[in-house]
Chains A and B, each alone.
Chain A
Amino acid sequence: MRRYAYAVPYWLWIALFVIAPIILIVYYSFFDIEGRFSLVNYETFFTPVYLRMTVNSFWYAFLITACSLLIAYPTAYLLTKTKHKQLWLLLIILPTWVNLLLKAYAFLGLFGTYGAVNALLEAIGIGTKQLLFTDFSFVFVSVYIFIPFMILPIFNALEKLNHSLIDAARDLGASEWTTFRRVIFPLTLDGVKAGCQAVFIPSLSLFMLTRLIAGNRVITLGTAVEQHFLVTQNWGMGATIAVFLMIAMAGIMAITGNKKWGVRQ
């Protein structure tokens, strides 16, 4: 009985802040802008505008995740080899303590026509380039913001890795590359999956950066949700997009999720 009592706050939390909002979102998605019950929002979602937006969102989220992974894996690998692991780790986590908006504003200054990056490009003879409001800067800043969430799970997986397995592989004559491909990477796959989830899912619904860094040249589903709730006040359409985002996220969780879960517990 007592054990259940301790679970009460948890269940209350889940019911109030997870289940209730989801039910509300699904409920709102069935109302049109005049507050009448209808399926018009779902029809609108399947028009070319929103389908293209969905494809765009997935494409950018994929780019952001792929770039993060490409940088994060070697970084995490090197981290496990360094002397002051905790210090390095702290340095990587540190930027996540700074508010996202502040970081975005900092990049407005850095990437500007007269910003530090362009001053450097000018100095080494490449010349001033338009950095702000391009696809490049959008992906770059997003990767910068999300990369700690990719490094950490991979780092943890690498740390947990049993070293004798690597030694065994080398003793049996595997080259370094083969050892990585056949032993290290498969054994840290769970960390990679967790990292991909932590990056892909939030980048699917990014919205502030699309305006600040991409100058509204990149429109994702998140941007549309924000606009429908705050500007148009078409809560129904905003909720409908949110429903599809949730379905997409659940799908991603299912694909990348750890299938051994049920067995272990």
Chain B
Amino acid sequence: MRKLLSLFLLVWLITFSLLYVVRIIESSEGYRGGNTLTIYNWGDYIDPALIKKFEKETGLKVIYQTFDSNEAMMTKISQGGTTFDVAVPSEYAISKMKEEGLLLPIDHSKLPNLRYIDQRFLNLPFDPGNEYSIPYFWGTVGIVYNRALLGGKEITSWNDLWDPSFKNQILLVDGAREIIGMALNSLHYSLNDTNKAHLQQAKQKLDKLTPNVKAIVGDEIKMLLANEEAAIGVVWSGDAAEIMWENERLDYVIPKEGTNLWFDNMVIPKTAKNIEGAHQFINFMLDPKNAAQNAEYVGYSTPNKKALDYLPKDIVEDERFYPSEQLADKLEVYENLGKSMLAYYNELFLQFKMHRK
């Protein structure tokens, strides 16, 4: 028994001395309570040079942590024990977080740079009045395709994907709302449709796509498309930009039936310790020059109207990433459909996955 106890004590002692050493190291590097800012963002979703610049301007030390899904991020914040000052969830996650009281209101008077944001991207249904969120990047869901592999064939619409000559050529992203939404759009329904008859129709249409579908994958889709493993992929526009950067034979198209318009937004979670610093950071990212630098690094579309002046012309005039107003009217933002409707979407998606060729 005594042996056991002394063993326990030893483990405790080692743990605490390690914790103490970590504290010493952190404070010697300038991480002190009150002058740190913890940012919780998607991986590789900010220009690291901007973090350096922000630290220099404000004297704050930034701790940058990343997540890879909205669900994982929400779970971590709702469980507590974390001190994230700024997080960057997607729009549907924001309405959920709002419902669960995970967000702090944003003080607009501390964000003078908010005026640079395009009016189109403010006051959207997921957060009326932008009480809790400020847009960070936006984009669409569309089709990446390899002209060379398709023998010069053009793709312009969702319905083109059902072409029998594309047998075993399509990679789909593993997202229920994206794929069911694609089928709904191809039938000219809204991608927020909750009519079960329409959804069943969409699922049946998806089943007919099965012979053309090579795989339904996650993040690997970028690597697979860049390696020409398949000729067509249904992806988010940001991923598309990244893939096209790696393989120039690929092109991106926003399907003419319309598609999803998505936003990633900066929010202040209820776990924030440095609310003042969080506002400073959001305002810093809204600065047109910083926003432009970030957009050029990340490759997504910036909602900052003034930032477009600082971006190279070929980026701003690229209609694949900054679609014309005419096409923009056909883009829809996901609404929070509620848990049971979302479960129904997922159930249909699961059934589609199980449908064999």
A residues adjacent to B (C-beta < 8 A):
2, 5-6, 9, 33-34, 49, 52-53, 56, 105, 108, 112-114, 130, 132-133, 211-212, 214-217, 219, 224, 227, 230-234, 237
Q: Is B353 in contact with A219, judged by CB distance below 8 angstroms?
A: yes
Q: Is B72 in contact with A232, judged by CB distance below 8 angstroms?
A: no
Using a CB-CB cutoff of 8 Å, which residues 191-218 of chain B contact chain A? 214-218
Contact among A56, A215, A224, A232 for B215, CB-based, below 8 A: A215
Q: Is B1 in contact with A5, judged by CB distance below 8 angstroms?
A: yes
Q: Is A215 in contact with B176, judged by CB distance below 8 angstroms?
A: no
Contact among B1, B214, B228 for A133, CB-based, below 8 A: B214
State in angstroms the CA–CA spacing of A106 and B176 once bound together.
27
Q: Which 4 A-B pairs have the closest CB atoms?
A: A215-B215, A216-B216, A133-B215, A232-B346
Contact among B1, B71, B217, B339 for A230, CB-based, below 8 A: B71
A40 shortest CB reach to chain B, Å = 11
Contact among B4, B171, B351 for A5, CB-based, below 8 A: B4
Task: Specify the chain B residue showing the minimal Cβ separation from A216.
Answer: B216
The contact sample of 30 A-B pairs, CB cut-off 8 A, is: A9-B4, A33-B339, A33-B340, A49-B347, A49-B350, A52-B354, A53-B354, A112-B224, A113-B228, A113-B229, A114-B228, A130-B214, A132-B215, A133-B215, A211-B216, A211-B217, A212-B217, A212-B220, A214-B215, A215-B217, A216-B174, A217-B353, A219-B350, A219-B353, A230-B72, A231-B71, A232-B346, A233-B71, A233-B339, A234-B343
B69 at the interface (CB under 8 A from A): yes
B123 at the interface (CB under 8 A from A): no
Note all chain A residues with C-beta closer than 8 A to B168.
130
Note all chain B residues with C-beta closer than 8 A to A9.
4
Contacts A216-B215, A227-B350; A6 near B339 (Cβ below 8 A): no
State in angstroms the CA–CA spacing of A108 and B227 once bound together.
11
Q: Is B229 in contact with A34, judged by CB distance below 8 angstroms?
A: no
Note all chain A residues with C-beta closer than 8 A to B228.
113-114
Contact among A108, A133, A215, A231 for B346, CB-based, below 8 A: A231
Q: Is B218 in contact with A232, judged by CB distance below 8 angstroms?
A: no
Using a CB-CB cutoff of 8 Å, which residues 314-357 of chain B contact chain A? 339-340, 342-343, 346-347, 350-351, 353-354, 356
Note all chain A residues with C-beta closer than 8 A to B356.
217
A18 shortest CB reach to chain B, Å = 21
Most buried by B among A132, A214, A217, A224: A217
Contact among A2, A216, A233 for B353, CB-based, below 8 A: A216
Contact among A6, A33, A132, A227 for B4, CB-based, below 8 A: A6
